[in-house]
Amino acid sequence: MDWMAWTWPTAAFFGVIALLLVTFTILALKYPETPRTGILRIETTRGDRLFITLLGSAFINLAWLGLVGENQPYALIVCAIYAAAVFRWV
């Protein structure tokens, strides 16, 4: 990993994203779904909700860094609650 100057947390982050994409692809092939309309009043699929979750989690983490600064693992708890809400109601 020295050739890209990556750290282990960076590699783990991208590994988790890759694993999520593979998992959601397998779910889409095995269990096709019809889009549903949630509180945003737009039709979304699992992939759409994953994208909304990842984008929102990025903003949550950036806001956490700007407002709190330290204790970034606690932002993960906020992101998990946000993800549960997105997959439930969006």
User: What are 2-40's pLDDT values in tens digits?
Assistant: 667 778 888 888 999 999 999 999 999 999 988 999 998
Contact 50, 27 (CB under 8 A): no
Tell me, what amino acid is at 70? E
d(CA 7, CA 85): 31
How much is the pTM? 0.84
- CA separation (Å) from 12 to 5, 57, 68? 14, 16, 23
User: What are 32-80's pLDDT values in tens digits?
Assistant: 988 999 998 999 999 999 999 999 999 999 999 999 988 888 999 999 9
